[in-house]
Amino acid sequence: MSNLSDYLTWRGDLSFGSASLCPVDALIFSMLAYLDLDGIVPPAPTAEPVRLAAAAKAYFARPTVAKGELPVKHEQLLRTLADTGRFSSLRLFAAKKILNRAKGMQFGAVSFLLPGQNIFVAFEGTDDTLVGWKEDFRMSYECPVPAQLAAVQYLREVAAAYPLRRIFTGGHSKGGNLAMYAAVNAGDHLRHRIRAVYNHDGPGFCDSTLASAAYLELRDRIFTYLPESSIVAVLLEHDVKYQIVKSAKKGLMQHDGYSWEVLGNDFVYTKERTAFGKRTEAIVDHFVNTTSPERRRRFSEALFSVLEASEQDTVSGVLSGKRWRQMLSAYADMPDDMRVLLTETLAVLGEGRRAAKKNTNAPPLQASEKSS
């Protein structure tokens, strides 16, 4: 079945003037937001935009080489886009990356000038940093998190720099959540300019965002896509208005947007999620519904205090297994109540993972009572 690469082979010679923005284009822009364009595309929205072909040439002139499957795919995407008539002449601006350990914020965004007085604002999803993953956990008990506030500010600044242009926005994973949050909270003066919000398998919210008047006003302009086995898009409070996309991968790996199946200028859809997706969603919902926000906060802080003891900055660095002794020592030095909290919570999630993998009718999970 076709994917993003096949789409570009088929449609890459058609300009946006002759073939307007489609859901697959929105995913492409969302994936480009993961790239680090620092020093290539200025961060200020009012600075001179840079054509994509020129940005790609400058990017690949760097001596650094991407590591990991997804970073390599992002670079391959940029290289391919630079050779297409559809994307090569588009202008990029306001490329911004923020990694603030003190605030616990990981944020990225880049915007594109499109024909017909349009802008696409793309927000980055979670990167490999512990800071980024910790902020994701924080979203389970706190809203807004720093990245959400940064997304609102970024959207307002971009809109102010181009006051006559219509706005499309989107993102993959956490980026989809940021796009939704920014659009909803942009303000009455700006919301009418937003034509569409594309949420590609982004998580929900832990507050009343989806019940707000601003969200309800935008709801028909918000398009959410999730793969059959997704658990990310159904985390926390989420809208049931979504489309299910077929993926070439299995299980959790379907979160990879490059695996999503494409037909023409749209995705390939299915009517129902897989049993794995439904079961895993039930497990996570059980965890969220049986633990208070305060308990989730304490669990997150306990978990990351152990991970940060590895003295690694990235999740891949932690998983490399070189600092397990430091992590075990940090766990042993925890106060008894925090160690019990961490152990019990991980046990509940582990039981759920095993049940989902076996795809059995497991008995209801036993979780600790709500506590503060």
Query: Is 124:109 a contact under the CB 8 Å cutoff?
Result: yes
Distances (CA, A) of 324 to 115, 215, 301, 306, 344: 52, 44, 18, 10, 20
Give the pLDDT confidence of 221-235 residue by residue, as tens digits: 999 999 998 777 666
Q: Which residue has the tokens 């990167």?
A: 127
Dihedral-angle region of residue 29 (phi above 0 means left; psi in -120 to 50 means alpha; beta otherwise): alpha
Cβ(356)–Cβ(279) under 8 Å?
Answer: yes
pLDDT of residue 90: 97
Q: Above 50 in pLDDT, residue 362?
A: no
Nearest CA among 24, 10, 95 for reference residue 58:
95
Q: Where are the domains of the chain?
A: 4-273, 280-358
Strand partners, 129: 314
Mean pLDDT of the residues in the chain = 86
Model confidence at 372, pLDDT cuts 50, 70, 90, reads very low
Residue reference for tokens 């633990």:
291
336 vs 179: which has the higher pLDDT: 179
* pLDDT over threshold 60, residue 334: yes
Of 315 and 104, more confident: 104
Prior bond of 203 cis (ω within 30°):
no
- Greatest mean pLDDT among 145-159, 193-207, 234-248: 145-159
Which DSSP string corresponds to 110-153? EEEEETTTEEEEEE----SBHHHHHHHHHTTT-SS-HHHHHHHH
Q: Is the pLDDT of residue 327 over 50?
A: yes
Across the range 79-105, mean pLDDT stands at 96
In the chain, pLDDT over 70 holds for what percent of residues? 91
Task: Dig out the tokens for 358 from the structure.
Answer: 């076996």
Q: What is the pLDDT of residue 365?
A: 37
- Judged against a pLDDT cut of 70, whether residue 121 lies above it is answered with yes
Of 58-62, 95-99, 122-126, 354-358, minimum mean pLDDT range = 354-358
Amino acid identity of 251? G
Helix boundaries (H) for the chain: 4-11, 23-32, 52-60, 69-81, 130-138, 146-161, 174-184, 188-191, 213-218, 275-289, 293-308, 315-319, 324-332, 336-358
* Amino acid present at 309: A
51 beta partners: 91
Instruction: Of 52-61, 152-161, 178-187, 210-219, give the lowest mean pLDDT range.
Output: 210-219
Helix residue ranges, H only, 205-292: 213-218, 275-289
Tell me what pLDDT residue 341 has: 75
Q: How confident is the model at residue 82 (pLDDT cuts 50, 70, 90)?
A: very high
Angstrom distances, CA of residue 104 to CA of 25, 90, 139, 296, 303? 31, 33, 11, 16, 15
Residue 175, pLDDT score: 96
pLDDT of residue 371: 37
**Most confident residue range from 168-177, 228-237, 307-316:** 168-177
Residue 227 token pair: 């793969």
- Model confidence at 85: pLDDT above 90: yes
> For the domain with range 4-273, which CATH number is right: 1.10.12, 2.40.128, 3.40.50, 1.10.1220?
3.40.50
The pLDDT score that the predictor gives to residue 163 is 96
Q: What are phi and psi of 239, to 5 degrees?
A: -80, 145
Greater confidence (228 vs 121) lies with 121
* C-alpha to C-alpha distance for 125 and 109, rounded to whole angstroms: 9
Q: Is 225 strand, coil or helix?
A: strand
